[in-house]
Amino acid sequence: MELFNQFVLPPTAAHLELLRYLLVLACLINFPYVGIVIGSTLLSLVLSAIDRDVSNPVCARVAKNLVDMALPSRITVLVFGILPLPVIWVIYGQWFINSTVNTMHLLPGGAFLIAAGLVVLLAYRGGLDPAGRNSTVVMGTGGMGLGLLLLGCYVMFGSVSRFWDPEKWFAVHHAARMLASWNLIWRFLCYMAASLAITGGAILFFSFSWPGKVSEMSDADIRLTKNLGAGVAIAGITGLPVLGFLYLFTLPIVSRSGEIYWLGVALLAVLFVLFAIVYRTIFSPRPRFGATAFVLFVVVFLMMIVGDQLTLVSATKEHIAGLVIESEEREAEIDLEREAMRAAAITPDVVRGQEVFNSVCMTCHQMDERLVGPPLNTVLPKYAGDMEALVSFIQKPSKVDPDYPPMPAPGIPLVDIKSVAAYLLGVGSGDTGSNGTDGSSAAQPQDQEGNGH
Amino acid sequence: MKKYLAIPAAFLFFGFFVLAYLALAHDWYRNRQAPDQPINFSHKIHVGKVGLQCLFCHETADKSTYAGIPTVEKCMSCHLNVATDRPEIQKLAAYWNEGKVMEWNRVHRIRVRKHVYFSHKRHVKAEIDCVNCHGEVKYMDKIRQVKSLEMGWCVQCHRTNDAPTDCLTCHM
């Protein structure tokens, strides 16, 4: 984290807003695809295992078709499965700059496991024989790829889960502890249920609506593919409401907001529509499963990712406010330096100083009376002849006397601060009885200013 | 026949979870979300910008079990002069002029308060930073509860700080 912080400037509010949209986009490219790969590989392994036990060529063919569907080419794996991962890492790194959470080391670890899992699964696809009776080595490769993928997803989710639960940030000292949280487990299982659902949707869509696919399949293949796709989709669709409830129930208080519950209700409505669409296909001998229905599965992922962002924004509201303030302070410092360079050439204007004093400072300060701040005739003498010190104090005030509340920075240009200082030193440190705004008071600070610079 | 029952059954299933989610939403809106206050007091301005210390307003946090809420009089000690043109300060001034008490709404709740003894004084004396329990209030316009204040969380912090974890420390 510290290493990351060295290279990243505190992001502005607009920058953070942009990052949020980029994160949603990167997750939307990656999560549904990885979900389809997980679901398809799992089903492929189950069907291959059935084929090994009872020699079922239909199972063997469908197992091969599933893996070909999920991993059609290396480019697809690279674009949808691997490239979004470093983008996600960098965005979270920007978002959590300055936080002490020791999780950014875990995130690339999870991303690496996912990428490794996808590469191993490409090898599994290459070794899988559609004729069936695949060797233990091939099955083991598939199992290892799936295991790496699942572990990578869990580690990646776990690495950012503490951002959802900042109250435990101070107590997190060990990576393993970060991965042990009920809320994380339910969130992970929600995504797994959505993965099963979208896998079912993908099987139905790519098998029955993709040009030329159905004509290559026998009736037995069609029946198995249809039942498998619909069954898996319905399992995911009906599992998601239960897991979603458990996730929302265990959500840390700091992550909650009204919107997350309404989004949950909207998600249930989409899931019900999907259930009706998928259920209809079971009884159709030649099912049609349109692109709209498949897009609805992607919408489910989109809603879950947006839900994650809503909870993240709620949980890190103060952290983000701190970052924005830090970036504003940095910008202000730069402005101040620029202004200082300009102001160095400007002579303070005592008349202007009096105007600014009357409009800004007099709310809290009188010359010989205590208001919110101390009477100025008690504090100005120590600045006599040292206008720089007074200007510096007004620019960045600090608490001096415990009897008074601390003075806020006035937020006025340096030129005005210099003018006020010149005016005050003329009034407060000289003969306060006579030289309020006359020529002599103006002359004295101008002389000091001239000497000071 | 069975196939026609599945859709109504699914409707009931999803309908049940809609109600369950709405119950969680109800709990959030009713009990958990940051409550509205009589005036929009901003900790972001007073702590973050002005730099007031917590004890300046919550005067009894180091002397009593309760941290204390500032009186209208305390607020007016500054706001007789400061920002008097702001609408929220004018609301405050109206309380002052009418001699009314500001009825703030409680933000931080220990859910089973009857069984728990908690003392602000002990924690302030032990130099536990207010932020540990109340969050970064200097960044909050509207104050909200950010920690669960549940037993597991308290015990975790007590363990981290070598504070007593005996039941009678908190339960009477």
Give the pair of three-digit tokens for residue A171. 């107590």
pLDDT given for residue A170 in this prediction: 58
Same domain, A122 and A228: yes
- Determine the pLDDT at residue A430: 43
Tally the domains of chain A: 2
Phi, psi (degrees; rounded to nearest 5) at B117 = -105, 125
Mutation site, A162, A182, A183, A253, interface B, largest B CB count within 10 A:
A253
Q: What residues of B are in contact with residue A244 (Cβ under 8 Å)?
A: 17, 21
pLDDT of the residue at A445: 40
Instruction: State the CATH number of the domain containing residue A406.
Output: 1.10.760.10
pLDDT at A368: 84
Q: Which of residues 24-83 of B touch A (CB under 8 A)?
A: 24-25, 28-29, 32-33, 44, 48-52, 56, 77-78, 81-83
Q: What is the pLDDT of residue B113?
A: 64
Q: What is the ipTM of this complex?
A: 0.85
Do the domain assignments include residue A331?
no
Residues A310 and A373 in one domain: no
Q: Which of A284, A308, A323 is the last residue of a domain?
A: A323
Any domain includes A339 = no
- For residues A152 and A70, membership in a common domain is answered with yes
pLDDT in tens, B102-149: 999 989 887 666 788 899 999 999 999 999 899 889 999 999 998 888
Q: CB distance A265–B22 less than 8 Å? A: yes
Q: What is the pLDDT of residue A453?
A: 32
Q: Do B136 and A318 touch (CB under 8 A)?
A: yes
User: What pLDDT is recorded for position A234?
Assistant: 95
Chain A residues closer than 8 Å to B22 by CB: 261, 265
Indicate whether A313 and A383 sit together in one domain. Answer: no
CA distance A72 to A66: 10
Answer with the residue of higher pLDDT: A446 or B9. Answer: B9
Rounded to whole angstroms, the Cα distance separating B42 from B139 reads 9
Specify whether A362 is located in the same domain as A313.
no
Contact A12, A327 (CB under 8 A): yes
| Same-domain pairing of A185 and A293 | yes
Question: Is the same domain home to A278 and A377?
Answer: no
> Over the stretch B20-76, which tens digit does the pLDDT of each residue have?
999 999 999 988 888 999 999 999 999 988 889 999 999 999 999 999 999 999 999
Check CB contact under 8 Å for B78 and A372: yes
Question: What per-residue confidence (pLDDT) applies to A308?
Answer: 93
Domain residue limits at A269:
2-323
DSSP class per residue in A90-115: HHHHHHTTT---TTTTHHHHHHHHHH
Which pLDDT score is estimated for B55? Answer: 93
In a domain, A115, yes or no: yes
Q: Check residue B116 and give its pLDDT.
A: 87
Do the beta carbons of residue B21 and residue A245 sit within 8 Å?
Answer: yes
Tens digit of each residue's pLDDT (9 = 90 or more) over A269-284: 999 999 999 998 888 7
Q: Which two tokens stand for residue A243?
A: 């897991």
Q: Identify the sign of the CA torsion B41, B42, B47, B52.
A: negative
Q: Are residues A316 and A365 part of one domain?
A: no
Same domain for A313 and A182? Answer: yes
Q: Quick: pLDDT tens for A53-105.
A: 888 888 888 899 899 999 999 999 999 999 999 999 888 888 877 666 556 67
Which residue, among A208, A187, A198, A204, has the nearest Cα to A236 in the 3D structure? A198
**Alpha-carbon Rg of chain B, whole angstroms?**
22
Residues A241 and A272 placed together within one structural domain of the fold:
yes
In a domain, A336, yes or no: no
- Look at residues B114, B133, B115, B113 and name the one whose alpha carbon lies nearest to residue B123: B133
Residues A392 and A305 both lie in one domain = no
pLDDT tens per residue across span A357-378: 888 888 888 888 888 888 888 8
Residue numbers in chain A where pLDDT is lower than 50: 429-453
Is there a single domain that holds both residue A312 and residue A369? no
Bridge partners (DSSP) of residue B171 are B116
CA distances (Å), origin B123, targets A169, A385, B119, B158? 20, 46, 7, 11
CB-closest option in A248, A253, A405 to B148: A253
Mean pLDDT of chain A: 83
Q: Which two tokens stand for residue A75?
A: 């480019």
Tens digit of pLDDT for each residue in B85-107? 899 999 999 999 999 999 999 89
**Chain A: residue nearest B34 by CA?**
A257
- Distance from CA of residue A305 to its chain's centroid? 10
Q: Is residue B146 within 8 angstroms of chain A, CB to CB?
A: yes
Q: For residue A146, what pLDDT is reported?
A: 96
